[in-house]
Amino acid sequence: MVKNYPEELANWVRKKPTTRRDRNLAAFLAVRSDVLAGLQAGYQAKTVWRNLIDEGRVAFGYGTFLRYVKMLPESATPTLVAPPLGDPKTVAAGAEPIRETAQLKPGQQAGFVFNPVPRKEDLL
């Protein structure tokens, strides 16, 4: 007599030996909340991974750890936000202001152009 498919599938899963990949994923899922807490606190992924390795909570490489972190939903992982720059023509107090870039004339090439004959005003 033929069993229904879910029962056959359950029997097959029970008989199949677990792989290292399965154990690694299970270990990551067990510490997922701690990983998220560490990342949201501002720690680097490598620091979180290193701590989990030292505590013996995971036993897989950093590349595998990163792959699992990337599988987390985007809303769960923190996004880096650059601080506002303010006025682009000024910098921090005490530093010299940013110079304006020269406007190129039509037909002029951008970048460094070597001239073997120096200009008088450029000499000391």
Binned at pLDDT 50, 70 and 90, residue 102 comes out as low
Q: How many beta carbons lie within 10 A of that of residue 17, not counting itself?
A: 5
Find the mean pLDDT for residues 90-95. Answer: 54
pLDDT at 35 over 90: yes
What are the sequence ranges of the domains in the chain? 5-71
Q: What is the pLDDT of residue 13?
A: 87
Q: In Å, how far are 10, 34, 46, 111 from 72, measured between CA atoms?
A: 27, 13, 16, 44
Over 60: is that where the pLDDT of 1 sits? no
- pLDDT of 94 over the 60 cut: no
Residues 51-69: tens digit of each pLDDT: 999 999 999 999 999 999 9
In the chain, how many H helices and how many E strands? Answer: 4, 0
pLDDT bracket for residue 36 (50, 70, 90): very high
Tell me, what amino acid is at 114?
A: F
- Among all chains, which residue has been given the structure tokens 């650059």? 82
Contact 49, 62 (CB under 8 A): yes
